Amino acid sequence: MLAWVRDERLRERLAPRLDGVDIAAIPHGRRRTPTSRAASRCATWSSDQRSTSYPANTMQAMAGRWSRGVGRERGRMWPAALALALVALALATPGAAAQSLLDASPPGANDWACEPSADQPHPVILLHGLGGDKNLNFTEVSPALADAGFCVFAVDYGNRGTQSLTVSVDTVAAFVDRVREATGAQRVALLGHSEGAAMSMYYTQRFGPEGVSHVVAVAGPLHGTAFPLAAQGPAIGCFACADLATGSPFITELNRPPEAPLPTRWTTVVTQLDELVLPFTSGLLDESLGNVKNFILQEEQPGNLSEHVSIIADPLTIALAIAGLSEPALEVDESEPELALTRRCIGDGRLRMNLVGDEAVVRDVSFKVDKRLVRRDDEASFEQVLDRRTLSRTRATQLRAVVYLDGPGSERIILERPLPRCGLPRPPG
């Protein structure tokens, strides 16, 4: 069944998790990447009310030139050309034919009558990368997951991923809630490619790992990318690009420990030939908590030629994803220490928030007004004061303290209390 996996040790590791899966149905050998698949179907885009159709053979030729990097100069320049092309594609206004293609779901996905089985109880939600969409990104992995017994769902978000992740995460959250309601599942699994991998990590941290059983992050800029054009993304309308640049405020917040919190199981898959996530090791996570498994394709399968775009269609990536998603889910710890969130008006329209309890077990606290982060504290007094200006402008109704406890489990607890106005009127609207 796994004869195409050349590494004998890897075959032995995968075999128990893939028992009964029709691996032969997963494309392998000389693959067509999602880029070339899109090209072969042809695309029509309209700009300034004019439509321009690009024949399939023209788009395939363009993609081929990029991926081969013909000549020394093109070899150096093609990653930048590919990045700009992805952003331009994302920001283009699709014509009717192309819109129909984009609105479609990948094979095996978005069957709202699907009922999770006892063997695969957690629905899998696919999150595309920058410039991608729910259909073209996952034409190989989606049917493979469905054949493995998963309920599979896919969503478009963030104007083809160009919006800031802090904005588009709300679209993902609403879709996750819809999947939970339709399937009756309390926990979901997330599989993200590129930006979608970072979105999977961000969603899990922001909305709580208790509701996410597994995350599979493929070629993700989880610690940012040093790709030269990323920080300049907003100049061409790509705010997510700036989010994902190395050292950005978004990445700094994303990497505060624990970056891969329990009880979620995390699987990362990266390629040494990644030309957009630099360095490629940005897509690996800390394994010290015992809930993370990292895979580098070329270490598992020497000679693997997958790069940033084609990795999501690689048969080894798909096999590793199925194996990771099939791991038994870790139990959610329902116990809570004695902690309380207090708040007191201290005059002149100011509000003081305190986390009260056993500070010996508290490692990290995020104070939030509704979902907006006010301050994140570590080894401090676990106290925050909202000034008159902040309190007078917010329309929020809730205070939240997101608490990470010390210890091997790094449990996460959310405490909420109503937000007092401290004598200030609520802003209009």
User: How far is residue 308's CA from residue 228's CA, in Å, rounded to a whole number?
Assistant: 16
Judge if pTM exceeds 0.75: no
- pLDDT-derived band at 102 (thresholds 50, 70, 90) equals low
Residue 364 CA: distances (Å) to CA of 258, 289, 347, 355:
9, 17, 28, 11
Query: What is the CB-side half-sphere exposure of residue 412 using CA atoms within 13 A?
Result: 21
DSSP annotation string for 263-323: T-EEEEEE-TT-SSSSSGGGG----TTS-EEEEEHHHHSTT----TTGGGG-HHHHHHHHH
User: How far is residue 280's CA from residue 277's CA, in Å, rounded to a whole number?
Assistant: 5
Which pLDDT score, from 0 to 100, does residue 81 have? 52
Please, which residues have CB within 8 angstroms of residue 228's CB and are 6 or more apart in sequence?
80
Which pLDDT score, from 0 to 100, does residue 32 have? 34
Highest-pLDDT range among 1-10, 172-181, 360-369: 172-181
Report domain extents, the chain.
Answer: 8-31+98-325, 339-418
Please, which residues have CB within 8 angstroms of residue 398's CB and are 6 or more apart in sequence?
369, 370, 416, 417, 418, 419
- Per-residue 3-state assignment (H helix, E strand, C coil) for 371-428: CEEEEEEECCCCEEEECHHHHHHCCCCEEEEEEEECCCCCCEEEEEEECCCCCCCCCC
- pLDDT-derived band at 9 (thresholds 50, 70, 90) equals low
- pLDDT-derived band at 139 (thresholds 50, 70, 90) equals very high
Which pLDDT score, from 0 to 100, does residue 64 have? 37
Architecture of domain 8-31+98-325: 3-Layer(aba) Sandwich (3.40)
Do β-strands 93-94 and 152-155 pair in parallel, antiparallel, or remain unpaired?
unpaired
Vertex 239, ends 404 and 279: CA angle to 5°?
70
Contact present, 201 and 222 (Cβ < 8 Å):
yes
Q: Which helix (H) or strand (E) holds 344?
A: strand 339-345
Cis peptide leading into 55, omega within 30 of 0?
no
CA trace torsion 412, 417, 423, 429 (10° rounding): 80
Rg of the chain over all Cα atoms, to the nearest angstrom: 23
pLDDT in tens, 142-157: 999 999 999 999 999 9
User: How far is residue 318's CA from residue 36's CA, in Å, rounded to a whole number?
Assistant: 18
- Checking if the pLDDT of 56 tops 60, the result is no
Decide if domain 339-418 falls under CATH 3.40.228.10: no
pLDDT in tens, 252-295: 989 987 889 888 999 999 999 999 999 999 999 988 778 999 99
Amino acid, single-letter form, for residue 145: L
User: How far is residue 158's CA from residue 399's CA, in Å, rounded to a whole number?
Assistant: 27
pLDDT in tens, 342-373: 777 876 677 777 777 665 567 667 777 765 66
Amino acid, single-letter form, for residue 41: R
User: How far is residue 54's CA from residue 44's CA, in Å, rounded to a whole number?
Assistant: 7
Rounded to the nearest 5 percent, the helix, strand and coil shares of the chain are 35, 20, 40
8-31+98-325 and 339-418 in the same fold: no
Which pLDDT score, from 0 to 100, does residue 394 have? 79
- Checking if the pLDDT of 54 tops 80, the result is no
pLDDT in tens, 364-397: 677 777 656 665 555 445 777 777 777 777 777 7
Mean pLDDT score across all residues of the chain: 76
The percentage of the chain sitting over the pLDDT mark of 70, rounded to a whole number, equals 67
Mean pLDDT of all residues in 314-323 = 96
- Checking if the pLDDT of 320 tops 90, the result is yes
DSSP annotation string for 225-257: B--TTSTTGGGGT-HHHHHTBTT-HHHHHHTSS
More confident residue, 268 or 2: 268
User: How far is residue 403's CA from residue 406's CA, in Å, rounded to a whole number?
Assistant: 10
Do β-strands 292-296 and 265-270 pair in parallel, antiparallel, or remain unpaired?
parallel
